Structure 1
Amino acid sequence: MSSLRVAASVVLLFFTLAPLEAAAQLRNLTFKIHNFTTKVDHFTYRNNDTFQMRYIVADKYWNRDKGTIFFYPGNEMRIEPFVYSTGVMWEWAKYFKALLVFAEHRYYGESLPYGENSFKASETADLEHMAYLSSEQAMADYAALLTWLKNNLAGAKNSQVVAFGGSYGAMLAALMRVKYPYIIDA
């Protein structure tokens, strides 16, 4: 076998095994799933209903005295796949002593404002509950969650919040920085 073929084989092996090693590390993540009570409608007084929004916290690397909060606003599916596929947050958490928070988007996963009836039409209106599925309502959920965490989690009050995301989640992260600059620092 020529040295060029050996070198090519080694490079190919490296690029095959490196992602497997990274994936193996992500499978061993430690985190806790919580529920946060939030409003179904943040913007009017007509609806006082609340629901349980799921969120995930990983505090393995967090330094309560000077750590950052890395926040991932959930996309259009349950939250766990984002926990396992957002490796950069986990890698950077070590260096920034960060608390990781992943919030599930309303109407996805188990964060259903009206449970099984979230997607059903009622006798009086067509899909009336779907009126609360919007990026504005989701961002208000996230703002309420982050405010609650900063006020109730020891050491979080003065922590800066950095929002991450991909695709729709990246749009939410960027819009949250614009709409809630007093909550999202970067």
Structure 2
Amino acid sequence: MYPLLQLSLQYLHQQSKPLGSPEDPKIFKQNIDHFAFNANRFKTFNQRYFINELFITNPTQIDTALLKIGAEDTVHSAPGGNLTHFDLLGELSLKFNAPIFELEHRFYGESQPFAENDNPLKTENLKYLSARYAIADLVNFVTKIDQQYCAGLGMTKVPGKTCLKWMVIGGSYAGAVSAWIAQQHPHLFAATISSSGVVNVKYENPEFDTHTYAAAGTPCAQAYVHSMREIEKVTESGNDKYLDLFKANRKNLPDFYYFLADTSLMAIQYGRKCAKITYNKPGAKVLMQLKPSQATQNRITNTNIMIEIS
């Protein structure tokens, strides 16, 4: 550990100032529709956000803020870690005396624009689920939160500029959003981290499948293809045993097949390996089991994905 970082952490450990937990959700009143002048233009929903202030050494001298973009999942805590176990954002927070924010993506977790409806995810509502709306949410959030800090710290607001220097951070889909938002709103953000940002958007992307197929290795890939073909053959014949296994139905078979394919491909993408394969034996079961590699074993809790065909 760097000496300066170690001394700063020792100083923070000695402070008695009570801080809210990074796991405590806060509510931001977000516009449902940022663009059209209709009934939803003036309606808001409760969008959750989280703050990690554990690394702030001087609360009266804050001039930087870190914003991690919530992606397609529930947010449970602001990133950064704690004074004992911290990540890159924790180090940046300590270095720049900056709070760390994370805004939960609309339609994920508890940030539901139409939560009061009987069917909040009906098709007509999903037009509000897009990167365009995610960017508008973030712009509105940064603008309002920056105004609060500007007033609270007694700063002089300069028209067209933020009081704080904002750094926006995202990975994968959120990495693309962080790149796009910084490009579209350069006056709001002083720095951007786009980790594995999928900025080259393609409607069809077969390279993902072919790459993960190759990464799996021939025995694993062949076993998986054999398994998927068998599942499709049995299901298309009218037998529902695999649908029943996953508590699915026949309303949308393409979604069912996509779920099976994507689950295993994503497992391989994130470092899991084939551990055991048994197939092509008369009367034997076809078994494909994926386990995490040693590199990811400590951070993956759902360790096994298994497809079994009798």
- Same fold by TM (over 0.5)? yes
CA contact 2:50–2:78 (8 Å) conserved in 1: no
Partner residue in 1 for 2:73: 77
**Structure 1 position 67, deviation (Å):** 3.5
Distance 1:82 1:70 in 2: 11
**2:159 aligned with 1:168:** no
Distance 1:143 1:152 in 2: 14
Normalising by structure 2, we get a TM-score of: 0.46
Gaps of 5+ in 2: 1-19, 156-161, 192-310
Give the residue type in structure 1 aligned to 2:61: D
Distance 2:98 2:62 in 1: 9
Give the residue type in structure 2 aligned to 1:119: L
Runs of 4+ in structure 1 deviating by more than 4 angstroms, as ranges, are none
Distance 1:96 1:106 in 2: 29
Question: What is the DSSP-based 3-state SS (H/G/I as helix, E as strand, rest coil) of the residue aligned with 1:164?
Answer: strand
**Structure 1 position 66, deviation (Å):** 4.1
Normalising by structure 1, we get a TM-score of: 0.74
**Structure 1 position 181, deviation (Å):** 1.3
Question: What is the DSSP-based 3-state SS (H/G/I as helix, E as strand, rest coil) of the residue aligned with 1:119?
Answer: coil
CA contact 1:83–1:102 (8 Å) conserved in 2: yes
Question: What is the DSSP-based 3-state SS (H/G/I as helix, E as strand, rest coil) of the residue aligned with 1:83?
Answer: coil
**2:9 aligned with 1:33:** no
**Structure 1 position 71, deviation (Å):** 0.5
**Structure possessing the higher relative contact order (Cα contacts under 8 Å, 6 or more residues apart):** 1
Distance 1:66 1:40 in 2: 31
CA contact 1:67–1:99 (8 Å) conserved in 2: no
**Structure 1 position 55, deviation (Å):** 0.5
Distance 1:81 1:54 in 2: 10
Q: Deviations over 1:2-22 (max 9, x none)?
A: xxxxxxxxxxxxxxxxxxxxx
CA contact 2:80–2:90 (8 Å) conserved in 1: no
**2:109 aligned with 1:102:** no
**Structure 1 position 142, deviation (Å):** 0.8
Distance 1:91 1:82 in 2: 14
**2:134 aligned with 1:138:** yes
Give the residue type in structure 2 aligned to 1:159: L
Partner residue in 2 for 1:118: 120
**2:164 aligned with 1:159:** yes
Question: What is the DSSP-based 3-state SS (H/G/I as helix, E as strand, rest coil) of the residue aligned with 2:171?
Answer: coil
Segment drifting more, 79-88 vs 67-76 = 79-88
Report the count of equivalent residues: 152
Question: What is the DSSP-based 3-state SS (H/G/I as helix, E as strand, rest coil) of the residue aligned with 1:163?
Answer: strand
Distance 1:118 1:78 in 2: 17
CA contact 2:78–2:100 (8 Å) conserved in 1: no
Give the residue type in structure 1 aligned to 2:46: Q
Q: CA RMSD in A?
A: 2.2
Question: What is the DSSP-based 3-state SS (H/G/I as helix, E as strand, rest coil) of the residue aligned with 2:46?
Answer: strand
Q: Give identity over the alignment, percent.
A: 27
Partner residue in 2 for 1:67: 63
Partner residue in 2 for 1:150: 146
Gaps of 5+ in 1: 1-28, 121-126
**Structure 1 position 94, deviation (Å):** 0.9
